[in-house]
Structure 1
């Protein structure tokens, strides 16, 4: 993913409520969210180039990642970060123990932020500039291509959009479409991440549209104590809806 906002309230009936957008080059092959035949009960999209995913659920477990934008600082021959999502979802280890093991090899992966939920605790970790992990307190969060809650304009707006959705919605629906700002932000509000200014402007939008790169899917998720509701919308160029997947299953 490239933009995630979520409400984490472990003592509430709806523990985790999340909206996310994934941005990618259109030429990169992708399979829409489905149950993976090789891992029954695992629901995720699939990157057909490297074989991993960006967001998925398996029973009471959840994982999602974003890349960290830091040109020139990726490790040589970096491992695909998309495998972190599927490795966590197919593990039976508590998140704290799984992350402890990940610490030994985290520097070998492409730069990442990672969210992991094991049914009890929600954890956040990153591997740049060093490996860091923390269990999250209840709250409303936003994550883009910098560290958690970095005040990028689209992330700040995403948190406000989810807060408004939580106030205005009965939550029988999912927040899949709320990250829908297509306009770039003014230059004076943009971060300087080391990419050319025209890309900095393009990437500042919540919903990205260009000839070669854009928002490929939007995801909405609600995890309750005994069930999961999940939706993914796949997008083509021009914000055209190509496919929609919806799942509702007990955990």
Structure 2
């Protein structure tokens, strides 16, 4: 994902609401949101090349979403896939299932939000490895550092906050907030920026570009009783919607 707004214990009804867009090369193959055969408690899309995912939930009570982090050099293809972190954490098995013992320097730069049980944590791999427990409220990630978000990130946070304040019942409505094509001029993007050829058109919440753009929008909502839904809307290189998947799931009730 390249932008995420994340509400944690910010509403009497909703334990967690996450909304975000995945920006990627349209030519990179991916499987749409589905329940994985290898781990039937895991619901996520899958990168068809590396085998990991960018966002997912587990019915064992876990959630994870990752964004690339710009400003620390070009990606190094020999490094481990960031999607493997999410796959193993969500599955509860594999080399990276225990994030506390994982060396984030083994991966290209990233930001990561995880939920397990009754705790939400934001992780960052640069400029140093750190993990911070999140307080109740609305938080955001984009391609900038956690303490220096790109301007599109606070805007999306505000959209999610407004939806919660309106006490609405249908998380699907949040897809509208993810379709905003407005851009920011390069000088308004928080330092460090991404590759110059991706700015300013790639500083929008929704990126319409035939080569590299928004591939899918996702909404995840989990109520206080553990009832959850995950909705994914997919887009063609033209920016037109081409498919949608919605799955229901349940989390263990920790209240």
Q: Quick check: TM above 0.5?
A: yes
> What residue is the counterpart of 2:128 in the other structure?
130
Note the C-alpha offset of 1:90. Answer: 1.1
Q: Which runs of 5+ in 2 are unaligned?
A: none
> What residue is the counterpart of 1:47 in the other structure?
47
The change in CA–CA distance for 1:147 and 1:12 in structure 2 (over 3 A counts) is farther
- Cα root mean square deviation, aligned: 2.3
Contact 1:21 1:215 in 2 (8 A): yes
Aligned runs of 1:220-239 on 2, under 5 Å?
A: 220-224=219-223, 225-239=225-239
Note the C-alpha offset of 1:92. Answer: 7.2
Contact 1:141 1:149 in 2 (8 A): no
Note the C-alpha offset of 1:137. Answer: 0.6
Structure-1-length-normalised TM-score: 0.90
Partners of 2:2 and 2:240 lie apart in 1 by 19
Tell me the matched-pair count.
247
Note the C-alpha offset of 1:108. Answer: 0.7
Contact 1:75 1:108 in 2 (8 A): no
Contact 1:141 1:148 in 2 (8 A): no
Contact 1:143 1:150 in 2 (8 A): no
Residue 200 (str. 1) matches residue 199 (str. 2): yes
Q: Which runs of 5+ in 1 are unaligned?
A: none
> What residue is the counterpart of 1:17 in the other structure?
17
Note the C-alpha offset of 1:250. Answer: 2.3
Residue 28 (str. 1) matches residue 62 (str. 2): no
Contact 2:143 2:194 in 1 (8 A): no
Partners of 1:41 and 1:10 lie apart in 2 by 26
| Off by >4 Å, runs of 4+ in structure 1 | 73-76
SS for the counterpart of 1:176 is helix
Aligned runs of 1:171-250 on 2, under 5 Å?
A: 171-174=169-172, 175-193=174-192, 195-224=194-223, 225-250=225-250
- Describe the superposition over 1:9-52 as per-residue Cα deviations: whole angstroms up to 9, x where unpaired: 17843111111000000100011000011111210000001100
Partners of 2:108 and 2:175 lie apart in 1 by 27
Note the C-alpha offset of 1:168. Answer: 2.9
